[in-house]
Amino acid sequence: MLDPAHALTRLRLRGRVFFRHGWGRRIAVLARRVEDIIDLNHTGLVVATVFFAWSVTPSLVPRDWLFQGLISGLNAAVGYGVGCVLQWLFRMWIRPRIKLETPPEWVRYAVKVAVVVLCALAAAYMLVMSADWQREITGLMGMEGTTRAAYLRTGALSFAVGALVVAVYRTVRELVRFIARLLSRWVRVPPAFAPALGALVLTVLVVTVFNGVATRAFFAVANSAFSVRNDKVTQYAVQPARPERSGSPASLAKWDTLGSEGRWFVSHGPDPMLISAVTGKPALEPIRVYVGLQSASKDTTEEDLAVAELERTKAFDRKVLVLVTTTGTGWVNSMSAAALEYMYGGDTAIVASQYSYLPSVLSFLADRQKVAENGRKMFDAVYEHWSRLPADHRPKLLVYGESLGSQGSEAAFDGLADLRSKVDGALWVGPPNSNRLWRQFVERRDPGTREVDPIYADGLVVRFARTAADLEKPSPDWRKPRIAYLMHPSDPIIWWSPDLITSQPDWLGEPRGADVSPQMRWWPFVTFWQVAADLTNAQGVSDGHGHNYGSLVLDGWAAIAAPPDFTPELREKIRVQIELAEYYERAVK
């Protein structure tokens, strides 16, 4: 009968002989050299693989291999760092207390090779699964899916990104050691404390530079760069001749001061002839007032200029006055504006202003206070003039905001009571998770309702909708003034929050929305980065999903402030027109 102890001894002897002579010795030397160069932490590799596997699980919107590779590489690098810390803790606190016999050298190398191979196989398997999940998400949104072969490129990119991040960390580590040596040599800091002090010195330096000089420099350069884009004049935006538009020869806000988005807004939109062709009734010229960042002067603020433009165009004599809080660079949703103009036969006035040169993502990081101040000041100025008019001789006052614009629009009101006392309706689209009023309504939703489709106070005043049918729920009793939020379950703008780092949100704990993969799960830290990555592609999906609300804004306006003669047939005629106009805008802009 074979003695196990004797067999193990013979196996060890054979391993030693193999590694001391011939190819075995060469392989051992080569393995040591490779290990010294790469300095691979195998515990870190295992944890990095776990983080990578988490990162390729389903998120809110579809991703191509490039986006997925970037986010997965970052997550893998974080996982590698966590694994390194875990191994260090084991060596410092646990290993000295456990009596373990050191295995032979060939066993250690065999285990290391096995770890690398298994991690590679696990990553490849997760990529194959991820391709299937991506096709599932695109199927839910009516989009064309990816292939397994194409998605395997994610693995190579993730490896490159992860390796780059680890290389940067190691460079920083060597820099800390260099500073520690200088402190020991010149300041006589004890060697035991020098590394910690070196890390502290480097941290203070980096935080000071990046939180001060570098941050200001970045946003100054960004503002300068995007201000050039703001001055861009496209051949498809022509100065209006009609006095009802800002930028016209009669306007107080000059054409060359409106910015790129402002010039587009005032130079487009339906005219009376087109409106009449759709409605079959006589129409007025819609009023569009816009104030750019360069429109105001030293003696006149943007809000004062906007009110002056409203007075000049006789906007307060129209049936409807809409105050739009723009996003980032001053963009106004053309579909939303045109929808209301068709509904009221052009008897409308829409006023908007620009508060930044930066796109919404950068504005969210740098200008959230600015958008709130702009929204509050603009509304207060318009409301002050509007409220002095006789109640039976003033237009309906509506407010509108999309994405970051909804946050600025909300900032004008202290709460629901204040909102209802001042406006005749509010339509807010794709609100960020940090919106104060939206957050209050959702958190106080009726028991038993989901976060993705909440019901607040039986829907008597505030309603949330993914489709037109949702605006009619839960009952026909919707009291005026009405407030509506349009929100998709798959919109990352709505669901992204720092809270995702440490806690599972209700929208992932409850039954999922119709266009959210049932395979999506919450993982600490990873889900935060996944949804953060989704922000960059929030509008790169089909209408009715993500942050792409399409003509649903027409249904929102119809539910909030439809005129008495508005019919379902007219709604569909308007939908065709605004969708055609949107297609044109996307093609030429």
- What is the pLDDT of the chain when averaged over all its residues? 84
More confident site: 94 or 120? 120
Residues 272 and 361 in one domain: yes
Residues 292 and 362 in one domain: yes
Mean predicted confidence (pLDDT) in 479-504? 95
Mean predicted confidence (pLDDT) in 247-273? 94
Single-letter code of the amino acid located at 280: G
Residues 387 and 459 in one domain: yes
Single-letter code of the amino acid located at 184: S
The answer to whether position 113 is within a domain reads: yes
Asked if 444 contacts 456 with a C-beta cutoff of 8 angstroms, the reply is yes
35-89 tens-digit pLDDT: 555 667 888 899 999 999 988 989 999 988 888 888 889 889 989 888 888 888 8
pLDDT > 50? residue 219: no
Q: What's the domain range around 36?
A: 12-188
Residues 363 and 286 in one domain: yes
Residues 177 and 236 in one domain: no
DSSP of 421-457, one letter per residue?
HH-SEEEEES--TT-HHHHHHHHTPPTT--SSS--SG
**H or E element that contains 485:** strand 482-486
The reported pLDDT for the residue numbered 197 is: 56
Residues 256 and 131 in one domain: no
The answer to whether position 213 is within a domain reads: no
More confident site: 71 or 119? 119
Residues 241 and 136 in one domain: no
The reported pLDDT for the residue numbered 358 is: 61
- Cα 262 off chain centre by: 24
SS3 363: helix
368-392 tens-digit pLDDT: 677 788 889 999 999 999 999 998 8
* Residue (of 303, 325, 328) closest to 385 by Cα position: 303
Mean predicted confidence (pLDDT) in 489-504? 94
**H or E element that contains 176:** helix 153-182
pLDDT > 70? residue 224: no
* End position of a domain, from candidates 137, 165, 188: 188
**H or E element that contains 346:** none
Q: Token pair for residue 436?
A: 């104060």
Residues 246 and 164 in one domain: no
Indicate the pLDDT class of residue 356, thresholds 50, 70 and 90: confident
Q: Token pair for residue 39?
A: 């300095």
The answer to whether position 204 is within a domain reads: no
pLDDT > 50? residue 226: no
The answer to whether position 404 is within a domain reads: yes
The reported pLDDT for the residue numbered 68 is: 87
Residues 105 and 177 in one domain: yes
DSSP of 78-99, one letter per residue?
HHHHHHHHHHHHIIIIIGGGS-
Residues 242 and 94 in one domain: no
The reported pLDDT for the residue numbered 389 is: 95
Q: Which residues pair with 515 in a beta bridge?
A: none
- CB-based burial label for 85 (10 Å; 0-12, 13-18, 19+): middle
The answer to whether position 205 is within a domain reads: no
Residues 132 and 269 in one domain: no
The reported pLDDT for the residue numbered 211 is: 53
The reported pLDDT for the residue numbered 218 is: 45
Asked if 494 contacts 431 with a C-beta cutoff of 8 angstroms, the reply is yes
| CA distances to 219, 346, 474 from 320, in Å | 38, 9, 27
pLDDT > 70? residue 289: yes
Q: Token pair for residue 494?
A: 């709505």
Percent helix, percent strand, percent coil in the chain, to nearest 5: 60, 5, 35
Most confident of the following: 54-58, 189-193, 437-441: 437-441
Give CA–CA dist 454/498, Å, rounded.
21
Q: pLDDT over 70 for what percent of the chain?
A: 80
* Residue (of 207, 263, 194, 255) closest to 235 by Cα position: 263
Whether the ω angle into residue 481 lies within 30 degrees of 0, i.e. cis, is yes
Residues 174 and 249 in one domain: no
pLDDT > 90? residue 122: yes
Give CA–CA dist 70/75, Å, rounded.
9
More confident site: 37 or 117? 117
Q: pLDDT over 90 for what percent of the chain?
A: 53
Residue 583: CB partners within 8 Å, gap ≥ 6?
Answer: none
Mean predicted confidence (pLDDT) in 429-456? 95
* End position of a domain, from candidates 188, 209, 240: 188
The answer to whether position 454 is within a domain reads: yes
DSSP of 509-546, one letter per residue?
HSPPPTTS-TT----TTHHHHHHHHHGGGTTSS-TTBT
Mean predicted confidence (pLDDT) in 279-306? 92
Asked if 442 contacts 432 with a C-beta cutoff of 8 angstroms, the reply is no
pLDDT > 90? residue 8: no
The reported pLDDT for the residue numbered 481 is: 96
Asked if 429 contacts 333 with a C-beta cutoff of 8 angstroms, the reply is yes
pLDDT > 90? residue 353: yes
Residue 435: CB partners within 8 Å, gap ≥ 6?
Answer: 406, 407, 410, 428
Residue in the structure block whose two tokens are 């306007």: 251
Single-letter code of the amino acid located at 488: H
Indicate the pLDDT class of residue 170, thresholds 50, 70 and 90: confident
pLDDT > 70? residue 188: no
Mean predicted confidence (pLDDT) in 413-427? 96
pLDDT > 60? residue 133: yes
The answer to whether position 453 is within a domain reads: yes
Number of domains in the chain: 2
pLDDT > 80? residue 540: yes
Give CA–CA dist 254/297, Å, rounded.
11
* End position of a domain, from candidates 188, 218, 240: 188
The answer to whether position 102 is within a domain reads: yes
pLDDT > 70? residue 203: no
pLDDT > 80? residue 113: yes
